[in-house]
């Protein structure tokens, strides 16, 4: 910071030791200029410190993936082929830490049933009561993705008591989803939140004459969710919707032996598409953050 010489007194050394005394001895017009200059310097310092702190921090950007069996493993051929593991590979381990908080069979519904068929409905499969939910909340995330709903689409859940009335409208599903997003957005880490439309539901490719597995309903996943998830994102102020359903080609594209093992769970090829879709959303958001000013005055891409 440069110091001016004023008539009758050289205030350079005084200003270094006693900046406020310096202001008191100046003519009024110069007091105003000095105050404005100091305020600008403080603001620049604070902005520079904040941005430098973001870019020079040693910790990585934390991405927490909330979901069900499609997230936890699906039909991946190996641990490193889940979409969460592939997302880590795409984003890079030096800058990102991606964690898998998928819980197989669990629902967004707070009273979701565990069921594999219409005659086997019992309580106990709500993501809200899972260890993974608690883990996600404690992960101090910068980015959170949510892909729940496939198990909610089972007949016992979507059209049964857990989902409220009128039946089939997803009253309780919507309410639970809204609440989950609000909780995540209130975390101290202030994460970006992305809602994901789940993969399509189709007949098993190896047995096309069989219905979709686990009493899941095609209409819920292939029609209702396409409008419901974006409307929830809009209402909650979520940071975006990642449309996995469309990325996988919809029903026609997903009814393929290379994409799914059973009509629900994705195989490696589909997992890659899911991972890339999420990575694209995160990278695009990072780029849209714009440019920041570092402490030394240079510019750098802002990221969170």
Are residues 6 and 44 located together in one domain of the fold?
Answer: yes
Centroid of chain to Cα 270:
20
pTM for this prediction:
0.77
CB-based contacts of 5, cutoff 8 Å, min separation 6: 11, 12
Residue 273 domain-assigned (yes or no): yes
Are residues 67 and 39 located together in one domain of the fold?
Answer: no
Are residues 54 and 77 located together in one domain of the fold?
Answer: no
Q: What is the model's pLDDT at position 286?
A: 85
Cis peptide before 258 (omega within 30 of 0): no
Domain count, the chain: 2
Interval 202-243: pLDDT, tens:
999 989 999 999 999 999 999 999 999 999 999 999 999 999
Residue 293 domain-assigned (yes or no): no
Percent of the chain with pLDDT over 90: 68
Residue where a domain stops, chosen among 18, 38, 58: 58
Q: Which domain holds residue 191?
A: 59-287
Are residues 154 and 244 located together in one domain of the fold?
Answer: yes
Residue 299 domain-assigned (yes or no): no
Are residues 128 and 26 located together in one domain of the fold?
Answer: no
Q: Supply 159's token pair.
A: 């059209």
Chain mean pLDDT for the chain:
82
Are residues 45 and 108 located together in one domain of the fold?
Answer: no
Are residues 201 and 276 located together in one domain of the fold?
Answer: yes
Are residues 139 and 40 located together in one domain of the fold?
Answer: no
Residue where a domain stops, chosen among 12, 28, 58: 58
Residue 303 domain-assigned (yes or no): no
- Residues 133, 66: Cα–Cα separation, whole Å: 8
What angle (nearest 5°) sits at the alpha carbon of residue 59, between those of residues 56 and 63?
A: 120
Flag whether pLDDT at 58 surpasses 90.
no
Q: CATH number of the domain that 164 lies in?
A: 3.40.50.1110
Lowest-pLDDT choice from 3-17, 106-120, 125-139, 268-282: 3-17
Residue 301 domain-assigned (yes or no): no
Flag whether pLDDT at 34 surpasses 90.
no
Residue 245 domain-assigned (yes or no): yes
Flag whether pLDDT at 253 surpasses 80.
yes
Are residues 46 and 84 located together in one domain of the fold?
Answer: no
Q: How many CB atoms neighbour CB 108 within 10 A?
A: 27
Local structure of residue 212 (DSSP, 8 states): P
Are residues 89 and 41 located together in one domain of the fold?
Answer: no
> Nearest 10 degrees: CA dihedral of 285, 287, 293, 298?
160
Q: Supply 132's token pair.
A: 């993974």
What angle (nearest 5°) sits at the alpha carbon of residue 105, between those of residues 142 and 267?
A: 75
Are residues 162 and 54 located together in one domain of the fold?
Answer: no
Q: Which long-range contacts (CB under 8 A, 24 or more apart) does 172-177 make?
A: 172/109, 172/110, 172/111, 173/108, 173/109, 173/149, 173/228, 174/228, 174/232, 176/108, 176/109, 176/110, 176/128, 177/108, 177/146, 177/148, 177/232, 177/236
Distances, alpha carbon 194 to alpha carbons 103, 157, 292, in Å: 18, 24, 24
Residue where a domain stops, chosen among 36, 58, 80: 58
Q: What is the model's pLDDT at position 123?
A: 79
Residue 300 domain-assigned (yes or no): no
């Amino acid at each position: 910071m440069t110091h001016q010489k004023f008539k009758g007194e050289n205030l350079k050394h005084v200003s270094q030791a006693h900046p406020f005394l310096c202001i008191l001895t100046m003519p009024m017009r110069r007091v105003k200029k000095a105050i404005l200059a100091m305020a600008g310097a403080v603001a620049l310092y604070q902005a520079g410190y904040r941005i430098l702190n973001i870019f020079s921090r040693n910790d990585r950007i934390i991405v927490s993936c909330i979901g069900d069996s499609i997230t936890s493993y699906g039909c991946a051929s190996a641990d490193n082929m889940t979409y969460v593991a592939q997302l880590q590979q795409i984003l890079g381990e030096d800058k990102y830490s991606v964690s898998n908080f998928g819980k197989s069979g669990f629902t967004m519904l707070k009273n979701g049933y565990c069921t594999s068929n219409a005659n086997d409905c019992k309580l106990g499969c709500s993501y809200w009561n899972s260890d993974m939910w608690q883990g996600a909340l404690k992960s101090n995330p910068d980015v959170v993705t949510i892909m729940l709903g496939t198990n909610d689409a089972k007949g016992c859940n979507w059209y049964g008591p857990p989902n409220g009335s009128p039946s089939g409208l997803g009253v309780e599903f919507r309410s639970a989803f809204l609440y989950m997003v609000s909780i995540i957005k209130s975390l101290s880490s202030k994460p970006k939140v992305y809602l994901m439309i789940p993969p399509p539901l189709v007949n098993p490719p190896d047995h096309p004459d069989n219905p979709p597995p686990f009493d899941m309903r095609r209409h819920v996943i292939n029609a209702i969710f396409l409008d419901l998830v974006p409307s929830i994102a809009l209402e909650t102020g979520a940071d975006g919707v990642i449309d996995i359903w469309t990325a996988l080609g919809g029903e026609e594209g997903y009814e393929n032996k290379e994409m799914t093992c059973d009509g629900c769970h994705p195989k490696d090829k589909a997992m890659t598409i899911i991972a890339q879709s999420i990575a694209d959303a995160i990278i695009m958001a990072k780029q849209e953050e714009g440019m920041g000013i570092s402490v030394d005055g240079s510019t750098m891409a802002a990221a969170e």
